[in-house]
Structure 1
């Protein structure tokens, strides 16, 4: 049987690099044909060296330029993981047009719909930045905690609005998808360091310099470890490849703890941010129990690495 094809859109970013590295590490036990896209800069040599079997393609998500080259050289992927986004809230505020054109993956979805057979799973990374809403019985100065997937979304910034529209576009135009609404992702630096500030690394830098900083104690998140996000992605990938049952999932992907920005040592980025977007991840836990064999297998593989 031929190997299944996995395409990582935005493979040079933080999550994309961690996912590609994991796919490379498991080639001996669970081989896949792997490719990834990049846009701003050519793939760095350390990353290419770490994933020598992967094909790299230059793609512009705003226009769709580059997808035809993937069709010709790689073929229709069985799984597409969309890690690409304009994800810095301040940048999105400055250029909302770019935020909408990139974070609403219309060109990607159009390309997938061009294939004759509808046998591609789209795993799309979304955000918790769209979750601040008023709870029943709360005043205008209060917000709720531990959001569920079916809570109303009322984003407070351009980044959140663009990701909401992305979710809605996928739900309306795809028949086989899993949208992962991620909290702040933290973990080790990538093979090729990314320019975006990372929570743990930034905190270590500030503390090591002895700089005086102010941290919010009334903004709450459920930070999630990057390798846990990778495990969820690989579990969904394995489920689709092994069972072939289409899915339409929206899952909160957060860690087990609700912590404040002060506890995270996270600083204000100069743009309005939701006060409390802690997540209820019971649906994620239940979903992984429903295909626990695959999930446990990936956890065991990751523990051995």
Structure 2
């Protein structure tokens, strides 16, 4: 069997780097040709040094500029993992046009459909923010009623993919947390941020009435890998929308309390406040916890508990 080609769109971001790392670790048992795209700047040297055999391509998702080079130098991909997004809700609120043009992967899908004899599996990252946030443990067939531009752009992306693609998996991910990447990303990582403020002895406010099912990043990567392998080895087309969250519904306060407990920080540093007390410039859904029964049943993957994931994350960080 010829080596399959896997393209990671948004390979320099947080999830993208973790996906690249995992694919590099399995090259001995499941060898693939790997390429990744980047946009905001050249790929960091640390990343290029870590994965010297992975081909980098500069691609603009808004216009599709750069995909032609992928076709010529890499070839039609068998699997495409789309990790690229404008994912800061406030940034999306301030520039809805940019949110739509980046988060709805029209240039990517149009490029894939233009390739001859290509039947790529598109694995696309969506979000728990497609849900309205008025109840607990949303299921995939619950109506998507997003309350902000970010969520709306992701719903539009899901609709576009389901209409245009015959072979896809849409992963509605919750907040991802885990170790820092090979080339550190500029955005603040949730557990490391909590650890940082509490380690300095700063009293910090956390919301007691905003609930999520945070998911350990390596579990998201395991889902991507399982879907990729299934398509590569079994050649079975899929049309899947699945919640990818952790097993625990936790508030921001509970997230902070878990970090404090594992690290031994004083819990009185955690000040519980209502999400309604802060204007973040964007509406945020109150409870978008997700039911992950379908994930466990379909792929046989059971994400680790929030506490275990935090333990694994902090074990990689040096205590400041």
Output the TM-score relative to the length of structure 1. Answer: 0.90
> CA 1:73/1:118 → structure 2, altered by over 3 Å: closer, same or farther?
closer
1:197 Cα offset (Å): 1.2
Residue 90 of structure 1 contacts residue 269 of structure 1 at CA under 8 Å; is this kept in 2?
Answer: no
Q: Could you list the per-position Cα deviations for residues 195-225 of structure 1 after superposition, in whole angstroms to 9, with x for gaps in the alignment? A: 1111011111111222222111111100000
Please name the residue that 1:272 is paired with: 283
| Aligned mates of 1:73, 1:279 — CA distance in 2 | 40
Question: Unpaired segments of 5 or more residues in structure 2?
Answer: 258-274, 303-320
- Tell whether 2:254 aligns with 1:243: no
Bigger mean CA offset, 77-86 vs 118-127: 118-127
1:149 and 1:164, CA in 2 relative to 1: closer, same or farther beyond 3 A? same
Please list, as runs of the form range in 1=range in 2, the aligned pairs for 1:1-40 lying within 5 A after superposition: 1-40=1-40
CA distance in 1, matches of 2:159, 2:256: 33
CA distance in 1, matches of 2:37, 2:256: 32
Contact persistence 2:4–2:77 (CA under 8 A): yes
Instruction: Name the residue aligned to 2:114.
Output: 114
**What's 1:287 paired with?**
298
Equivalent residue of 2:290, what SS?
coil
| Alpha-carbon distance in 2 for matches of 1:165, 1:274 | 18
User: 2:189 aligns to what?
Assistant: 198
Does the Cα contact within 8 Å between 2:76 and 2:118 map onto a contact in 1? Answer: no
Q: Does 1:149 align with 2:160?
A: no
Q: Which residue of 2 aligns with 1:300?
A: none
- Other structure's SS at 1:215 match: strand
Q: Which SS does the other structure have where 1:63 is aligned?
A: coil
C-alpha displacement of 1:265: 3.1
Contact 1:240 1:246 in 2 (8 A): yes
For the structure 1 residues 44 and 2, does the alpha-carbon distance in structure 2 shift closer, same or farther, using more than 3 Å as the test? same
Q: Matched residue of 1:148: which SS?
A: coil
How far does the alpha carbon of each residue in 1:105-133 deviate from its partner, in whole angstroms, 9 at most, with x for none? 00000000001224200000000011115
Unaligned runs of 5+ in 1: 134-142, 293-305
| Number of aligned residue pairs | 282
Pairing 1:81–2:81 present: yes
Tell me the residue number matched to 1:188. 179
Alignment partner of 1:94 is 2:94: yes
CA distance in 2, matches of 1:72, 1:269: 48
